[in-house]
Chain A
Amino acid sequence: MAVIEIPRLTVHTTRYTARAQSGLSMCFVIAIALLAWVQLASAQTMAEFRRTLTVTAAKTVTLDVDVAVGELQVSYGRDGEVSIAASARGSEPAGIGDGFVSAVLRIEQIGNHIMIHTFDPVPPEERTSVLYQINVPYRTELTSKVNSGKQVITGILGPVNAVTNKGDIKAAYISNALEGHVGTGNLDLQVIGGPVEAIADSGNISCTRLPQGVSAEAGEGDITLMVVGPSTAVVKKGTGRINVGGARGRFIGSTDQGDLYLKAIPHEDWQLSSVSGNVRLELPPSAKFELEASTKTGELQFERDDITKPLANLLQFRQAINGGGKRIAVHTESGRIVIR
């Protein structure tokens, strides 16, 4: 069979090639011309910079970073050294040359205190992208400020104080406290050992595994908390929602028009409120708690067998569930309260 198939295929290919040869050649020429034009129009230049600083393991490293424009990544690498890498890409007018990064970057070291400051590299219209990657020892305290760009901070002792004016902040595996503030952008925090303060003027906040809790404040974005200690979450205005899974301690949450959803075991008291958003609680069947639910013009809805079904149009309700326990106070002005 194979002996027959091979010549047949060869004949077919030859026939096809003969028919399409001239057309193909034309396409080829056009494609190459197009590629050349694209290359010329968006000629990219690139510069790289690397430096390693030696630090002592005996003391904590204090790192202060101030970046005008660019993405900042600070992460654990190894003890005994701070390694700084920077790369810049830009269109031709930006004039990215070999000395570009070193010209916009100032590094100072006084013992274990390292200060990194950058200047605004080139006007934004020239589309320069700059990435600063700093690998540090575990025992590092960080103060970082980025005017325009993203921050990613991973795997250090802390404390961390990170601020961006425009851009996201992602931080993970910080052992001590963290303060994060974004103007326009999102805050994504995972596994932070110490207490956390998170503020997003315009953007979302997401927190996962914060055993010492978080004080989260969103101007109008969503707040998502998963497995957190004693926490407060406030959405100041608009339709921003709060979504909580696994609140391990006291919890206070409030929204404006957005919904508030909480699924957890009530280990401590909860206080939940909204203006017009719905509040939905999901607790295990065996959970013991003292429920106080109220609304001005909204609705109460209970989907558990252990809660006495209230009368229609009831605006206030109070009952000890499974013998009672921690206090769960829920209030909405005009939304709906649902307990499952």
Chain B
Amino acid sequence: MRMSRQFVRNLAITCALLGCSNWVFGQKDPGVRGGIQNTGGGLQQQGIPIPHPPLISRNPTTGETINENELKSFLEGILRAGQLESTCDDCADVTDGSPVIGMGELDPVFPQFHTNSNGLGARHNSDQCFSCHAQPTLGGSGGYLVPNPGDKTPHQAENPQFHLIPHRYGRQNVVPSFEHRYGPIREVRFKRKPDGTPDGGVHQLWTVRGSTNDPTIPNCALTQPDFEKEYKAGNLAFRIPLQMTGLGLIESIQDREILAQHDATATLRAPLGITGHPNRSGNDGTITRFGWKAQNKSVTIFAGEAYNVEMGITNEAFPTATEEDPDCQGPEKPEPNDVVRTDNNESRNQDFDNPLHILPDWQQFQILMRFTDGPAPVANPSESAKHGRTLFSDIGCALCHTPQMQTAPVMNSAVLQNRPVNLFSDMFLHHMGAKLADDITQGQAGADEFRTTPLWGIGQRIFFMHDGRTADLLKAIDEHFSSATPKYSASEANEVVHKFHGLSSVDQQAILDFLRSL
């Protein structure tokens, strides 16, 4: 009895010590670099505008900088991407595309309670590009925004899909339970149609019903899909916004570079069971590379698709509306909404009012993406982060998260050509197993396949994985592991995750520190 009591006491002490050592020595995600309060919505909450997208830096190989025309196009792109869309075709609060000056906006280029554009679709996920791309700068990945930017006392920044976007201008949307106040911005794809056949398409969250700033659609009675029912039925697949930064550089990498980098690691990958394959265009067979499943061929396609799918704005690339209810589009709204303005009718192409408004918003947006710099790593990484970089390669992370590729030797833009891109991705698709599988097929990307997500900028991202399931890097690494199931093969990352867990706590911490330095 006495021995037993002593045994219990010793056991308790041992457990306490172990717990303490784990607390002291256990590896931990250091969190968003600089802290949430110093990036994106955190700054906005302090009354500080969110930083603008970084301009592409000087070409380190050739010394070339962006030329004057490219710079102006980039800046015009910021204006267009910052626009807050109104529904009807002529009811913006200020001139289309103009900064909102003297009306109390925190950033005149990123207005949040005055519209400076037109064309919001009857169904949409957002009414402004930067609403979903504002972490840590405008043009970044999804983050938080202040929901009451017009008030003197700002609330804590939160997921803009929780209140700001669905209710802006009195719109009467019901917020589904999967959009959390401090959770990731999520868009929704349905896995299957009601008849059981594959769906895979985006089902936009919000409608324009109830908009107080559009007198042309008083009878709009659109309803949202029954997201709760589909959620309970396990029929939803979520995607979170990717960063737009550095996409011009990624686009400038030739297929031969991607394939050569992959071939170079063949002997190292083989014993770890890592294979992978590119997603390819059904039209010309070249490698597609944008989006969670590398489903988009170019930033131009990506821009056209985003304008239509995310904001319901039809364009030359995606000319058909996702919702064609005439009661919700306004009687005069032309289709496609946003096109190169060549019409001779001055009221439609603004010949008299705005003879220079030639390129549509979505095309200016793609130019913005092309000349936005890639995320910059921390200038002076810690010793731990430097060590982590070595370990990152040693254990095999870098076999898929390829640290660097080179852009094409000769390009139209001198600032983009022949320069290194520190993207940390092989641009290939890999089987990730049942745990991450979303049952969505896009091109040659199967139900459990995802493009290796570029890790540049991960140090300042809030949420990880395609559906934003975690904000913890350590958990994100673990999510790469998945055993084989009857439906899915094992994750290609399993061996590397094993190796990670075989490292000491200090070494694991070093990898986390390295990742947060990117």
Which residues in A have some Cβ–Cβ distance to B below 8 Å?
A: 57-58, 75-80, 135, 137-139, 152, 154-155, 157, 172-173, 175-176, 190-191, 193-194, 208-209, 211-212, 226-227, 229, 245-246, 248, 263-265, 284
The listed residue (A57, A79, A138, A190) touching B72 by CB distance below 8 A is: A190
Q: Is the CB of B356 within 8 A of A138?
A: no
- The answer to whether A57 touches B355, judged by C-beta atoms less than 8 angstroms apart, is no
Which residues from chain A contact B353 at a C-beta distance below 8 Å?
Answer: 227, 246, 248, 264-265
User: Distance in Å from the Cβ of A78 to the closest Cβ of chain B?
Assistant: 4
Inter-chain contacts of B79 with A (CB < 8 A): 173, 191
Report the bound CA distance from A165 to B327 in whole Å: 59
Least CB distance, A67 to chain B, in whole angstroms: 20
Q: CB distance A246 to B101 under 8 Å?
A: no
A302: min CB distance to chain B, Å: 19
- List the A residue with the shortest CB-CB distance to B38: A57
Known contacts A57-B43, A58-B48; decide if A226 and B72 are in contact (CB<8 Å): no
Q: Which 4 residue pairs spanning A and B have beta carbons closest together?
A: A193-B99, A79-B51, A78-B54, A173-B75
Flag if B72 contacts A176 (CB, 8 Å): no
Q: Considering the complex, which residues of chain B in the window 68-106 have a beta carbon less than 8 Å from any beta carbon of chain A? A: 68, 71-72, 74-76, 79, 94-95, 98-99, 101-102
Q: Tell me the nearest residue of chain B to A195, going by C-beta.
A: B101
Residues B76 and A248 in contact, CB atoms below 8 Å apart: no
Chain B residue at minimum C-beta to C-beta distance from A194: B101
- Cβ contacts under 8 Å, A135 to chain B: 55
- Chain A residues positioned under 8 Å from B137 (CB to CB): 79
B384 interfacial by beta-carbon distance below 8 Å: no
Q: Which of A78, A157, A211, A284 contacts B55 (CB 8 A)?
A: A78
User: Which B residues touch A77, using CB under 8 A?
Assistant: 54-55
Asked if A284 contacts B346 (CB within 8 A), the reply is yes
Task: Give chain B residues whose Cβ lies under 8 Å from the Cβ of A193.
Answer: 98-99, 101, 108
B23 CB contacts on chain A under 8 angstroms? none
User: In angstroms, how far is the closest chain A Cβ from the Cβ of B446?
Assistant: 39
Question: Are the CB atoms of A208 and B356 closer together than 8 Å?
Answer: yes
Task: List the B side residues contacting A191 at CB < 8 Å.
Answer: 75-76, 79
Please name 13 pairs of A and B residues whose Cβ atoms are closer than 8 Å in the assembled complex, sorted by A. Answer: A76-B75, A79-B54, A80-B51, A137-B51, A173-B72, A191-B75, A191-B76, A209-B354, A226-B355, A227-B355, A245-B352, A248-B95, A265-B346
User: What is the bound-complex CA distance between A138 and B68, given in angstroms?
Assistant: 17
A57 touches B48 (CB 8 A): yes
A-B contact count (CB 8 A): 98
Assembly CA distance A227 to B353 (angstroms): 6
In the complex, A173 Cα to B80 Cα: how many Å? 12
Shortest beta-carbon distance from A74 to chain B in Å: 12
CA distance A155 to B99 in the complex (A): 12
In the complex, chain A residues whose CB is within 8 Å of the CB of B108: 157, 175-176, 193
Q: A248 to B71, alpha carbons, bound, how many Å?
A: 27
Q: How far is the CA of A248 from the CA of B52 in the complex (A)?
A: 29
Q: Is B361 an interface residue (CB 8 A)?
A: no
Measured between beta carbons, the chain B residues less than 8 angstroms from A194 are: 99, 101-102
B468-506 CB mask vs A (1 if < 8 Å, else 0) is 000000000000000000000000000000000000000
A331 to chain B, nearest CB (A): 23
Do B356 and A209 have beta carbons less than 8 Å apart? yes
Docked complex Cα distance between A77 and B75 (Å)? 11
Residues on the B chain within 8 Å of A58, using CB: 43, 46, 48
Q: State whether B48 touches A154 (Cβ < 8 A).
A: no
Is there a chain A Cβ closer than 8 Å to B200's Cβ? no
Instruction: Point out the residues of chain A lying under 8 angstroms from B373, CB to CB.
Output: 78
- Tell yes or no: B396 within 8 A of A by CB: no
Contact B94 A211 (CB under 8 A): yes
Cβ–Cβ contact A154 & B95, under 8 A: no
Note all chain A residues with C-beta closer than 8 A to B102. 194
Given contacts A76-B52, A154-B71, A155-B71, 10 further A-B contacts (CB under 8 A): A57-B43, A58-B46, A76-B75, A78-B373, A80-B51, A173-B76, A173-B79, A176-B99, A226-B356, A227-B353
Kindly provide the distance from the CB of A196 to the nearest chain B CB, expressed in whole angstroms.
12
Q: Is the CB of A138 within 8 A of B52?
A: yes
Q: Do the beta carbons of A263 and B72 come within 8 Å of each other? A: no
Among residues of B, the one whose C-beta sits closest to the C-beta of A157 is: B108
Q: Are A246 and B352 in contact (CB under 8 A)?
A: yes
**B353-373 contact mask (Cβ, 8 Å, vs A): 1 or 0:** 111110000000000000001
**Nearest chain-A residue to B49 (Cβ)?**
A139
A4 to B356, CA, bound (A): 59
Query: Which single residue of chain A is at the shortest CB-CB distance from B346?
Result: A284
For the complex, what is the distance from the CA of A211 to the CA of B96, rounded to whole Å? Answer: 10
Beta-carbon contacts under 8 Å, B95-145 to A: 95, 98-99, 101-102, 108-109, 137
What B residues does A137 contact at CB under 8 A?
A: 51-52
Q: Which residues of the partner chain B approach A209 to less than 8 Å between Cβ atoms?
A: 98, 354, 356
- What's the Cα separation between A246 and B267 when bound, in Å? 65
Q: A284: shortest Cβ distance to chain B, in Å?
A: 6
Inter-subunit contact A175/B101 (CB<8 Å): yes
- Choose among A77, A154, A157, A264 the residue with the greatest number of B CB atoms under 10 Å from its CB: A77
B43: A residues at CB distance < 8 A: 57-58
Q: Which of B71, B99, B108, B109 has the most CB of A within 10 A?
A: B99
- Closest chain B residue to A174, Cβ basis: B99
Q: Are B75 and A264 closer than 8 Å at their CB atoms?
A: no
Docked pose: A137 CA to B53 CA in angstroms: 10
Given A76-B75, A191-B79, does the pair A245, B95 have CB atoms closer than 8 Å?
A: no
Which residue in chain B gives the minimum CB-CB distance to A265?
Answer: B352
Which of B51, B74, B76, B101 is the one whose CB lies under 8 Å from A57? B51
Closest B residue to A283 by beta carbon equals: B352
Q: Which residue of B51, B352, B356 contacts A263 across the interface (Cβ within 8 Å)?
A: B352
Q: Please name all residues of chain A whose beta carbon is closer than 8 Å to the beta carbon of B52 when the two chains form the complex.
A: 76, 78-79, 137-138
A24 to B194, CA, bound (A): 84
- In angstroms, Cα B108 to Cα A278, docked, is 40
Q: Which residues of B contact A79 (CB under 8 A)?
A: 51-52, 54, 137
Taking CB atoms, residues of chain B closer than 8 Å to A226 are: 355-356
For residue B350, which residues in chain A have a CB less than 8 angstroms away from its CB? 246
A176 to B287, CA, bound (A): 43
Contacts of B99 in A (CB 8 A): 175-176, 193-194
**For the complex, what is the distance from the CA of A317 to the CA of B137, rounded to whole Å?**
58
State how many angstroms separate the Cβ of B451 from the closest Cβ of chain A.
Answer: 27
Closest B-chain residue to A245, C-beta based?
B355
Residues of chain B within 8 A of A227, CB atoms compared? 353-357
Closest CB-CB distance, B377 to chain A, in whole Å?
14
Docked pose: A70 CA to B321 CA in angstroms: 53
Do A246 and B354 contact each other (CB < 8 Å), given the known contacts A154-B71, A212-B101?
Answer: yes
Q: Are B109 and A175 in contact (CB under 8 A)?
A: yes
* Minimum CB distance partner of A79 in chain B: B51
Report the nearest A residue to B95, measured CB to CB. Answer: A211
CB-based nearest A residue for B353 = A246
Instruction: Tell me the complex Cα distance, A80–B460, Å.
Output: 15
Least Cβ–Cβ distance between B64 and chain A, in angstroms: 13
Bound together, the chains give a CA A88 to CA B74 distance in angstroms of: 28
